[in-house]
Chains A and B, each alone.
Chain A
């Protein structure tokens, strides 16, 4: 029971920052969905790969990112995602929010000690 709870909390935390992660990755480089997946998986941000697609679609609809079709190494063209200006604005906000959270938590933890 206890274990399930910690898992649950972890996944809740991941959920909160998943979209932030996607925007961050795209801010560095434009990418295929597959490379996004591999990066997120390496970072243990997602467990099942299907998770990414609803998020990408949603962010695209919000105008945070766009895509173009590009030939992939497998042959058929695949969507090649890039962050938009609106996405960058949001990312900047998220960055500052993130720093704030990290600092706050550090503060709380230090006080505890």
Chain B
């Protein structure tokens, strides 16, 4: 099977074998290179082209396919530009009949022998150094730049950048002449033939592009972009794979380093989620594997036979998402219903100062944790004991709410709980109401102690103190935690460790106040 091309030469249509077309194209380019710069060069080329058409008709008849051998014969009859020059110019060029059409070497990217863009290969051709040697040098330079400093030029990244710049800046040797120029070989029929055969596939593309330079440039840009994208894909996917591997492996590694594994103190009713974990890992890793595959696919352009890994990865990913969704939904059963239980105690309103004490049998350590401290509420907890018998001492969330003068002081203990059914949740909530004691004006709040035996079961406790205007609250233990009145509704929790919080909050408050006053001014001005 031979591919043929329809062309018009000297206003006559011919059917030419692909190989022959390349030879003609090369010959005409040669003529153009030679005569385009000369006076009436176009006319000379037209003449020769017309004569070529006549000779083809003579050799093969107007409707026949012109064979490559006929083309070669015709070209030798017409003569290459240097031979023509020699024969017709009587003035000069009496010299060297052995003069060869030596064309200057030019730097091209070599499309016939490339890993990425053919830059190394092109450099090798230009410098007449072995291609492998140039590649090895390039890689060594990359490693060298990366390891031995030279950070001021970006380390190894410099080489990558340089490569990309060269990739874009250096044109690819597309035509046979360019391929010859790449090696600095004279454009005679032998080299022509050789280059043509070596680059046959490439040249095949060239034919389709012949005469469509714009499209050609576009596709070159598209190629560069796709290569850059593929490199990014590979970098991102490798980065992602490494990052998440370290993250998940790290969790395992640090299990022994971190003083306490909170998961040991939590029992929220989820069964050992092995499949959930597998599905989760698949969901995270498969996209990166897919990206890696896609990047390599784009970069090297191979086409696997039969199976399509990209599609398989995608299907597996979708399956893992569904599996994760189903398993996660199933695992979240203990949270499907929630219930609340409350207990109210009225505090005698003869007191204008109330005292709050967070009580612990071992005292309050200095290394406690307070969440949300600085507002009118906070959560307090800490850890106690030796490494393997540690317990978490956690107090209910404590909150102070200011209400109008007419209402009395009120203490509400509240528990929110989750379970599969409402009745289960409600039972759990009622069983786990926060414990506190009220003696006169002292409110003692007691902690929950979680250990490996008595795990946290996802019930959330709150103690809310409702007080009317004019009543003051002082926290006696921990001693630094003193509430004092600042504004109408809220109470500020003052302690050195949370000073920053305080300041920020105060700032916000004054901003707000100023804003309101400014607004008032504006409104007044409008009505006056």
Interface residues of A (CB under 8 A from B): 4, 7-8, 11-12, 14-16, 18, 33-34, 37, 46-57, 61, 72, 74-76, 78-79
Q: Which residue of A lies closest to B91 (CB)?
A: A15
A30 to B57, CA, bound (A): 23
A11 to B84, CA, bound (A): 12
Q: Which of B76-108 contact A (CB under 8 A)?
A: 76-81, 83-90, 94, 97
The answer to whether B89 and A53 touch across the interface, beta carbons within 8 angstroms, is no
How many chain B residues touch A (Cβ–Cβ < 8 Å)? 33
Q: CB-CB < 8 A to A57: which residues of B?
A: 39-40, 43-44, 47
Which among A12, A34, A72, A75 is the interface contact of B94 at CB below 8 angstroms? A12
A4 to B43, CA, bound (A): 33
Q: Which residue of B lies closest to A72 (CB)?
A: B54
> How far in angstroms is the closest Cβ of chain A from B125?
31
The answer to whether B88 and A79 touch across the interface, beta carbons within 8 angstroms, is no
Identify 10 residue pairs between A and B in the complex whose beta-carbon atoms are under 8 Å apart, listed by A's number: A8-B94, A12-B90, A15-B87, A33-B47, A37-B51, A49-B51, A53-B47, A54-B88, A57-B47, A72-B54
Known: A37-B51, A49-B79, A75-B12. A15 touches B44 (CB 8 A): no
Q: CB-CB < 8 A to B88: which residues of A?
A: 15, 18, 51, 54-55
Q: CB-CB < 8 A to B53: which residues of A?
A: 74
A8 to B99, CA, bound (A): 13
The answer to whether A74 and B47 touch across the interface, beta carbons within 8 angstroms, is no
The answer to whether A50 and B62 touch across the interface, beta carbons within 8 angstroms, is no
Interface SS, B side: helix
Q: Is B164 an interface residue (CB 8 A)?
A: no
The answer to whether A78 and B50 touch across the interface, beta carbons within 8 angstroms, is yes
Interface SS, A side: helix
A107 to B89, CA, bound (A): 29
Q: Which residue of A lies closest to B57 (CB)?
A: A74
The answer to whether B51 and A54 touch across the interface, beta carbons within 8 angstroms, is no
Which among A49, A53, A61, A75 is the interface contact of B77 at CB below 8 angstroms? A49
The answer to whether A54 and B84 touch across the interface, beta carbons within 8 angstroms, is yes
Which among B35, B50, B55, B79 is the interface contact of A51 at CB below 8 angstroms? B79
Which among B40, B78, B90, B94 is the interface contact of A49 at CB below 8 angstroms? B78
Closest 8 A/B residue pairs (Cβ): A48-B79, A53-B47, A15-B90, A76-B11, A50-B79, A50-B84, A50-B78, A51-B87
Q: CB-CB < 8 A to A53: which residues of B?
A: 43-44, 47-48, 51
The answer to whether B54 and A34 touch across the interface, beta carbons within 8 angstroms, is yes
Q: Which residue of B lies closest to A34 (CB)?
A: B54
Q: CB-CB < 8 A to B35: which residues of A?
A: 54
Residue among B35, B86, B87 facing the most chain A CB atoms (10 A cut-off): B87
The answer to whether B47 and A56 touch across the interface, beta carbons within 8 angstroms, is yes
A49 to B51, CA, bound (A): 8
